[in-house]
Amino acid sequence: MKNIVILISGGGSNMAAIVRTAQAQNWVKQFNAHISAVISNKADAKGLVFAKEQGIATAVVDHKAFADQPQPREAFDAALMAEIDKHQPYLVVLAGFMRILTPGFVAHYEGRLINIHPSLLPAFTGLNTHARAIEAGCKFAGATVHRVTAELDHGPILAQAIVPVLPDDTADSLAARVLTQEHLIYPKVVAELVSSTC
C-alpha cells in the first residue's frame, strides 16, 4: 500500500480536496494508495476535525513544545519525522503547512515531498503572494505544485493553474479564486504520483 501523509497547519482545505478525490476515485482500488495520516503542528487546526470524521489517523507535533531546545527547528523536525515515519510514507504532502523545513527533513523525504504554493513560481515565493501580485501589476496569478527542495518555494514544478487578476481584485478575492484552482490541481498531481508505479 502506498501511504500518503498530509501535513497541515489550519483549515486543511487542500487536504480535504485530496481526501474527497481519493474517496471519489477509489485510490485504494485504483492505485493501491490511501491517505494514512493527517499531521498538524497546531492542536486546534480545524483540518484535524475533518480528517477524524473521515476515519483518517491524526497526530499533533506542536512546534512550540521545542522552543527551549538548543536547536528548536531541528528538534521539531526530528519529532515530526518520527511521527510521519510510523506510516512508512510513499508520499508526504504539504497542504498549508506553515513551517520552513530544515534541509535534513527535506533530504530525508527526497523525491517523496511535495508542496502547493499560491503563486506562479518562481514569482512571489514566501508570504503575501496575492497582495504582491496585485501591487506588481500582474495580469495573471495562480498556484504551483512543486517538489520540495532545501530552498524555500523552489524545486521542480509539477503543475500550475493560472488565474486572471481582475481590475477590482483585492488580495482576498484573488486568493479565493486561486484556492478554487488549488483544490483541482493538487489532488490531480497526487493521483498522478501514486499512479506512476501502480
Angle between helices 171-195 and 13-24 (to 10 degrees): 40
User: Catalytic site residue 117?
Assistant: yes
Residues 123, 58: Cα–Cα separation, whole Å: 33
For 109: left if phi > 0, alpha if psi spans -120 to 50, otherwise beta; the answer is alpha
Which of 63, 117, 130, 183 does the annotation list as catalytic? 117
Phi, psi of 152, deg, nearest 5: -55, 130
Phi, psi of 17, deg, nearest 5: -65, -40
**Alpha helical stretches, state H, the chain:** 13-24, 27-31, 46-53, 72-85, 103-108, 129-135, 171-195
Catalytic annotation, residues: 117
